[in-house]
Structures are given as C-alpha cells and as structure tokens.
Amino acid sequence: MPTEIMLDRITMPGLALESKINIIQATSHSLPNGVPVYYVNAGTQDVIKIEVIFRAGSREQDVPLVAGSTNSMLEEGTKKHTAEEIASLLDYYGSFLETSVQQDYASVTIYTLGKHIDKALPILEELIKEPSFPQNELEIYLHNNKQRFLVDEQKERVVAAKNFPSLLFGDTQPYGHKTRLEEYDGVKKEHLEAFHKKYYTPGNCAIIASGRVDEKLLNKIGDYFGKDTVGVQNFEPLRNYVPHSAKEKVNFIPSPKKDSVQSAIRMGRVMFLKTHADAIPFQILNTILGGYFGSRLMSNIREDKGYTYGISSSVIFLQHAGYFNIGSEVGSAVCEAAVIEIYKELERLCNEPVPADELQLVKNYLRGNFMRSMDGPFALADRFKHIWLHNMDYSYYEKYVNALSTITAKELMEMANKYLQKESIYELVVGKKK
C-alpha cells in the first residue's frame, strides 16, 4: 500500500492539453447513372451500413400519412416476394432493415455483416424499386398504427410533442401538421403508388455507406443502383418558407387521463436554419440552458427542486426552418412552479453573463461530446448526413470546434437577448386544469 505519500483526493488531476480532433470525412463517389454515393471506410468490425435516402419526407405529401406509409410499406411486399419472405431472406443472414421518415427526407437502411452483403443488396434493391403495396398488408398497417395512435394520445408527453410544432408552424403547414385519427382512413393504395413513383426515383436519391467500404462494395452498389436512368428530379424545394405561428403564446391542453399525476411542458420558438451565423453560438447557449446533464434546467428543476425526473432543451434544424424547444414532465402540483423557474432561467441568461468556469466546463464537455459523436463508422456517416442535408460541408464542424475555443460570455448573452426573451416564447402545458 502506498502509505508514504498522502494521496491528494481533493484536487482534480490535470487535464491534457486540447489536441486536434481528427475528423474522418466521407468520400464522394458517383454511380454510372450519376446517383451520388458518400462513404466512410472506418472501424474494426466486418460490418456495413447502407442508407438510401430519398427526398420523400412528410412535407412532400398531399395526403396526410402518405410519406410515412409509403416508406414503412416498402418491406411489406414486392412484385416477387411477400413481407414474410423478405423478412426471412434478410433474417437468415442476420441483416436488418430500418425504414425511416423525417419531415425532409425518407430513407431505407440496411445493416449487414460484410460477408453477407451479396444477399442483402438484391433485397434492398427490390424493395426500393418494386414494392407492391399489398392491400391486405396496408390495412393491417393502418389499423395497427391507429391503435398505437390511440395509446399515444393517452400520454401527456406525446400529446405535447405533437401539438407543439403545430403551434409554431401552423397545423396546415409543412412541419406543423398534427396527425388526426381519421386521417388513417384516408390513406389508399393509389396514394402510396403515386407517391412512390414520384419520389423514390434515382434522380431523387443519394446513398451513404459506412463501415467496411471498399471499391468492390462501391461497384456492387453500382450494379444495383447505378443502372437506371436518373430522369428528372421531381423534388421541389420549399421556397420562402414562412411559418404560420399561433397567435396565443400561452396554451393549455387538458390531460387525456382522469387520474393524471404529471403534466407535460413544452416551451420554445421558431429559430433559423442550420446555415445561419447564429446557429453555432445558439447551440452552445442551448447546451448551457438544457443540453446536458449538468445544465441549468436540470440543476435547478431536477437537482435542486426535485420537480422532475428529467428536463432538457434542444435546437432542431429542418431544411427550411428551425426551432428551439424545452421539454419536461413534472408533478401536476408543481407544474406552475416549474414553468416559472424555466422563465427565470431564460431571464438569467439574458441578464447575467455566463460565469467563466461554467463556460469553460461547457466548452470542454461539448468538445468531448463532439469526439464521442465522431466515434465509429456509423457515427461518422451520421455526422456527414447532418451537414449534407443542409447543403453544408465539413467547414461547419471546423467552425463548431473553433467556436468551442473562442466563444465568449458576451456573445452568449447577446444570443440570449436576441432569441430567448420571454415575449418570444411559446408555452404549452398538457395536464390538469388548475
């Protein structure tokens, strides 16, 4: 036992000097027909992830739920195989499929061991190019989702999350529409066929591959996705998008349950695009407010008051809009008190510069977090996707890392005053009437 020297357990061990963060960038490649492939060859495991992205997000749909239904139904049957056969063919080799729809895009992703790529690719091609949208499967899909919708409607948190974007963007606008039960009955096979035909085209497509990606794999991707003629781009960008925000800033929705013991809170506002000059400083400000475990909202509302199990804030960037939101579920009796505390924290950011030690902590934390977010092949592919979707390049991350060294308390206070004044904040509570 090292008894001669008393161990100093009080002083924190010294930190290493900031080293340069090494960002592995995606490489761009073009298939014979012009479909772009971006790839990250990294990692130690024999795994491959291929994400095929289409500009086929929910904002393109004319009929509610069609973008999501089209995307989910891709794996429910093709001209050659039933849903069960498709699943069997993938399962047999331990490959798995993920379909996903966001507001701006839809994607079909396959994860596979490198040794089974030849089994996975033909299925991926088939369900993207030749879905049959069988009537029976569609009915089951809609029926089961309708039931899930009803369960979700019982959750204050989900009700708040669904209603908040429509307060900010307007229910009839892209990004703001809130799904209603009866909309499940309006989705027809023809809608899916038409949506697929229009948006799931090579001209509307990009591929991101990560993991063990070599030239052989790129050629194989070319065999399956590089031969069809690209044709026209059907994608129409939203021009001069203007949100239709609600008039009332303070909103309340009664809890769907009689015996509710918690209320859900959402607060926030419309922001700017990811390309905006304030995007990076505001994200740092957001971290201080509610973007990490030690944030001001967590410290005050959970760790000091014990009103909640968790509270956080985030900035969401869509292609044509952005928004900021704070979310929490709190005990019904303390809901009002929690809202008051949230406003206090916003006000504090506007009126007092962030103390130097807190700012340094957040900078260091975000640096570590940035390294974590770049760790591993799939994470690297995601970092690429998140700049590519906004037509940005890797200089965004350079600026971000740079800001983590240089941003000042004064700049952050300016950000707070510009964007977090109480008058600009929308508030939504789903819970018990006082």
Partner 1 sequence: MIDFERFTLANGLKVIVHRDTSTPMACVNILYDVGARDEDPERTGFAHLFEHLMFGGSVNIPEYDTPLQIAGGENNAFTSNDITNYYLTLPAVNLEVAFWLESDRMLSLAFSEKSLEVQRNVVIEEFKQSYLNQPYGDIWLEIPKLAYKVHPYLWPTIGKNIDHIKYAVMDDVKAFFKKFYCPNNAILCVTGNVTVEEVKALCEKWFAPIPMGNPPKRNLPIEPPQTETRKLELERDVPASAIYKLYHMGKRADKSFYIMELLADILTDGNASRLYVELVKTQKLFSEINAFTYESLDPGIFIVTGKLLDGVTLEQADAAIQKEMTKLLTAEVEKDELEKAKNKVEAQHVFAEISILNKAMNLSFFELLGDAADANKEVEKFFGVSEKDILDESIAELKESNCSTLYYRAKTK
Contacting partner 1 within 343-382 (CB under 8 A): 360-362, 364-365, 367-369, 371-372, 375-378
Give the residue, chosen from 60, 104, 329, 345, that forms a contact with partner 1 under the rule CB under 8 A: 329
Minimum Å gap between C-beta 261 and partner 1 is 5
In whole angstroms, give the CA distance from residue 55 to residue 106.
6
Minimum Å gap between C-beta 216 and partner 1 is 19
| 153 near partner 1, judged by CB under 8 A | yes
In whole angstroms, give the CA distance from residue 202 to residue 30.
12
What is the edge-to-edge ordering of all strands in the sheet holding 426-431? 250-254, 426-431, 262-270, 322-331, 308-317
| 98 near partner 1, judged by CB under 8 A | no
In whole angstroms, give the CA distance from residue 340 to residue 350.
15
Nearer to partner 1, 284 or 389 (CB): 284
In angstroms, the Cα distances linking 260 to 35, 153, 155, 156, 338 are 51, 13, 9, 9, 17
In angstroms, the Cα distances linking 325 to 62, 161, 209 are 27, 10, 32
Site for partner 1 in 224-283 (CB under 8 A): 257-262
Pairing between strand 96-101 and 106-113?
Answer: antiparallel
Give the residue, chosen from 52, 56, 73, 86, that forms a contact with partner 1 under the rule CB under 8 A: 86
Nearer to partner 1, 2 or 237 (CB): 2
Give the residue, chosen from 61, 71, 78, 95, that forms a contact with partner 1 under the rule CB under 8 A: 95
39 pairs with which residues across the strands? 27, 209
In angstroms, the Cα distances linking 345 to 35, 296, 359, 408 are 48, 7, 16, 19
Minimum Å gap between C-beta 229 and partner 1 is 32
Site for partner 1 in 299-328 (CB under 8 A): 302-309
Nearer to partner 1, 87 or 194 (CB): 87
Minimum Å gap between C-beta 82 and partner 1 is 9
Site for partner 1 in 154-173 (CB under 8 A): 154-156
In whole angstroms, give the CA distance from residue 165 to residue 233.
29
Closest CA to 376 of 110, 41, 43, 47: 43
Site for partner 1 in 45-74 (CB under 8 A): 45-47
Site for partner 1 in 9-28 (CB under 8 A): 9-10, 12-13, 15-16, 19, 21-22
In whole angstroms, give the CA distance from residue 86 to residue 120.
10
Nearer to partner 1, 155 or 385 (CB): 155
Minimum Å gap between C-beta 293 and partner 1 is 6
| 214 near partner 1, judged by CB under 8 A | no
Minimum Å gap between C-beta 235 and partner 1 is 30
CA–CA–CA angle 312, 313, 318 (5° rounding): 135
Nearer to partner 1, 248 or 398 (CB): 398
Contact 204, 33 (CB under 8 A): no
Nearer to partner 1, 83 or 221 (CB): 83
Distance of CA 106 to the CA centre of its chain: 12
**Segment lying near partner 1 (by CB under 8 A), choices 227-235, 292-300, 394-402, 416-424:** 292-300
Nearer to partner 1, 31 or 288 (CB): 288
Nearer to partner 1, 196 or 432 (CB): 432
**Segment lying near partner 1 (by CB under 8 A), choices 62-70, 145-153, 343-351, 405-413:** 145-153
The values of phi and psi at residue 406, to 5°, are: -105, -15
Minimum Å gap between C-beta 147 and partner 1 is 4
Contact 251, 233 (CB under 8 A): no
Contacts of residue 34, Cβ cutoff 8 Å, sequence gap at least 6: 202, 230
The values of phi and psi at residue 338, to 5°, are: -65, -45
In whole angstroms, give the CA distance from residue 99 to residue 54.
11
**Segment lying near partner 1 (by CB under 8 A), choices 82-90, 99-107, 219-227, 274-282:** 82-90
Minimum Å gap between C-beta 267 and partner 1 is 18
| 403 near partner 1, judged by CB under 8 A | no
DSSP, res 71:
H
